[in-house]
Chain A
Amino acid sequence: MIVFGFGLVMLAALCLALVSRRGHHEADPRAFFAAHGQFGVVLFFLLSVGETYSIGSLLGFPGGIAATGSIDIVLWFVGYILLAFPVGFFLYPALWRAGRRSSAITLPDLVGAHYRSRVAESLTGLVLVMLMLPMGTMQFVGLAGVLSRLGLGFSPLVLAGSAAFMAFLFVAIAGLRAAALISVLKDTLVLLAILLVAGLTLWHFPAEQSRSLAESLSSGGSSAGSACAMIMSTIIVQAVGFCVAPQAVAAIFSARSPAVIRRAQIWMPLYMALFPLLFVVAAYGLTHAGLGGTPDQIFLAVTSRSLPGWVAGIVYGAVALTALVWLGSVCLSLAAIVTRNIVPHVPPAQQKRVGLLVIATYLVFAVVTASMHPVLLVSLNKLFYVGLVQMLPGVLACVAGWRVAPLFYLGGLGAGLATGFGLAASQASLGGLNPSVPALAVNALVLALGWGFSRRILR
């Protein structure tokens, strides 16, 4: 029965992908990869808000709380997604205009046009592709947990391979348009699933409670100062980093106008209204012994304990779709980056074919790496943002129209990445400060030096 419910969701998603293709046979790779300037408020909203309920939120958020028994994750995780919407409200329309000026559909397009440098364009593309690799791994770590609960008896690698094939099929059928339409199904099912699972959790909460929530969930302590510094700096850094992720930028360029973006951004915070219910699921996991599985599987464990087989199958299908839709939109933006910005001179007629090859390679890499290292989903999330946010100073210079020599842009980016990852790897305490903050300061300083230098030369 579980497989029946799961299969039903996958079939419905496949039908939606086919429907989204009708009337849009995309020969133009710009339309296929980025739905360039086609989306109104509703499709833009669905595409860009999809990140809110990713597999990181559904499994990683309750899993992180359960693994640490601390409120720190609740505060920085909810805080950064929530504050990304106000940042996007102001940054996205400016990015859209900058992109329109240079006919960009990817972030490296914009960088290349602004700094007038093919090297800056290619290296930015390369950095983004490298950064997105662990995020693909993260989706398959989550997917492995879901698929193992179907009881199909196949090896985890075969199951993950099938999921990768589904993600590939979705994007190969209709590109970004399919990802946006499948988001409708995914979001409806995910919201219903959270309501259902959390509702049942609340119903059963007092029964079999092994310890109280006050005992299980810590807040403050001897190092409250450094914890606050960590929470606040992580929220700020990741809220701005969220807005320069390749899939976020692809969504911006798919919008019809800046007004469309602004109107959609207003309602996005309300989309997070179900996070308190995800917290309830985590609280249940913390206070009830014997759920089994890793911390990241709490949502799934509560689902299988409290719901009949076919309904649990539908919930698993919804969770799997969150990963597949995310993979679809990320794969498309990466394919666009590789074919337009990294591999030189791919003719437009070949871009779609090369792009699909890139997507297949990315998916295979993610499946293989996910099968190798068991990691906590939220740890991957944090590491990804340490690198991603280093794009910000260079992008802000593009938006503001500041002329800086490409050497300084690349110097700032390189110094920022080296500082951020160096500090993260050394696990230096920094009084709790997120390693991205000093790294951003170094990056911005190099860029500002370049700006001052360029102004002096131009004068």
Chain B
Amino acid sequence: MRGRIKRRNMPLIVGLFLPFLLVLGPVPFLYGASWRLEGIPVAVIWLFICIPLVALCLLIASRLTDEDA
């Protein structure tokens, strides 16, 4: 029963919570960081890396949703 509930929630975890965690989670740690690449703050670089990562999360979530359907 618990396993079934977990599997049903997987698309939500991967497709919604993970993207929010990827984008918002590092903000407090990276925002004031002094490390820069060519003058660009690391917080900005991480956010741009998140663009393909969020698409990947949605792709996986859609596969999981299809499986359930």
A232 and B27 form a contact (CB under 8 A): yes
Chain B: interface secondary structure? helix
A263 and B23 form a contact (CB under 8 A): no
**15 residue pairs A–B, Cβ–Cβ below 8 Å:** A75-B27, A75-B43, A78-B48, A78-B51, A82-B19, A86-B20, A86-B54, A86-B57, A86-B58, A87-B16, A213-B39, A219-B33, A220-B31, A227-B31, A262-B65
A267 and B55 form a contact (CB under 8 A): yes
B57 and A213 form a contact (CB under 8 A): no
Separation in Å of the B66 CB from the closest CB of chain A? Answer: 9
Separation in Å of the A209 CB from the closest CB of chain B? Answer: 11
Question: Does B1 touch A at the CB level, under 8 Å?
Answer: no
Q: Which chain A positions have C-beta within 8 A of B31?
A: 71, 75, 219-220, 224, 227-228, 231
Question: Does B28 touch A at the CB level, under 8 Å?
Answer: yes
Within 8 Å by CB of B23, from A83, A89, A217, A276, lies A83
B58 and A266 form a contact (CB under 8 A): yes
A213 and B40 form a contact (CB under 8 A): yes
A219 and B32 form a contact (CB under 8 A): yes
| A residues 203-233 in Cβ contact with B at 8 Å | 212-214, 217, 219-221, 224, 227-228, 231-232
B58 and A231 form a contact (CB under 8 A): no
Chain A count of residues within 8 A CB distance of the other chain: 40
Contact string, A268-290, partner B, CB cutoff 8 A, digits 1/0?
11101101100100010000000
The answer to whether residues A90 and B15 also contact, given A220-B32, A232-B27, A266-B62 and a CB cut-off of 8 A, is yes
Separation in Å of the B28 CB from the closest CB of chain A? Answer: 5
Question: Does A113 touch B at the CB level, under 8 Å?
Answer: no
Separation in Å of the B30 CB from the closest CB of chain A? Answer: 9
A279 to B40, CA, bound (A): 10
A269 and B15 form a contact (CB under 8 A): no
Q: A83-B23, A266-B55 are in contact. List 7 more A-B contacts (CB 8 A).
A: A82-B50, A89-B62, A220-B33, A267-B55, A269-B54, A269-B55, A283-B40
The residue in chain B whose Cβ has the minimal distance to the Cβ of A93 is B65
A83 to B40, CA, bound (A): 22
A220 to B36, CA, bound (A): 13
B15 and A89 form a contact (CB under 8 A): yes
Question: Does A10 touch B at the CB level, under 8 Å?
Answer: no
Question: Does A37 touch B at the CB level, under 8 Å?
Answer: no
Q: Which chain B positions have C-beta within 8 A of A34?
A: none
| A residues 89-112 in Cβ contact with B at 8 Å | 89-90
The answer to whether residues A79 and B23 also contact, given A74-B47, A266-B55, A272-B51 and a CB cut-off of 8 A, is yes
**Residue picked from A89, A217, A262, most chain B C-beta under 10 Å:** A89
Chain B count of residues within 8 A CB distance of the other chain: 32
A214 and B54 form a contact (CB under 8 A): no
A412 to B36, CA, bound (A): 45
A residues neighboring B (CB under 8 Å): 71, 74-75, 78-79, 82-83, 85-87, 89-90, 212-214, 217, 219-221, 224, 227-228, 231-232, 235-236, 262-263, 265-270, 272-273, 275-276, 279, 283
A213 to B57, CA, bound (A): 32
Q: Which chain B positions have C-beta within 8 A of A78?
A: 47-48, 51
Q: Which chain B positions have C-beta within 8 A of A262?
A: 62, 65
A270 and B47 form a contact (CB under 8 A): no
B20 and A83 form a contact (CB under 8 A): yes
The residue in chain B whose Cβ has the minimal distance to the Cβ of A225 is B28
Q: Which chain B positions have C-beta within 8 A of A270?
A: 51-52, 55
Q: Which chain B positions have C-beta within 8 A of A75?
A: 27, 31, 43-44, 47
The residue in chain B whose Cβ has the minimal distance to the Cβ of A276 is B48
Question: Does B12 touch A at the CB level, under 8 Å?
Answer: yes
Question: Does B68 touch A at the CB level, under 8 Å?
Answer: no
The answer to whether residues A275 and B51 also contact, given A232-B27, A235-B23 and a CB cut-off of 8 A, is yes
A89 to B57, CA, bound (A): 11
The answer to whether residues A85 and B58 also contact, given A214-B36, A228-B31 and a CB cut-off of 8 A, is yes
A352 to B28, CA, bound (A): 51
The residue in chain A whose Cβ has the minimal distance to the Cβ of B30 is A219
Question: Does B61 touch A at the CB level, under 8 Å?
Answer: yes
Within 8 Å by CB of B59, from A228, A266, A276, lies A266
Q: Which chain B positions have C-beta within 8 A of A86?
A: 15-16, 19-20, 54, 57-58, 61
A55 to B24, CA, bound (A): 26
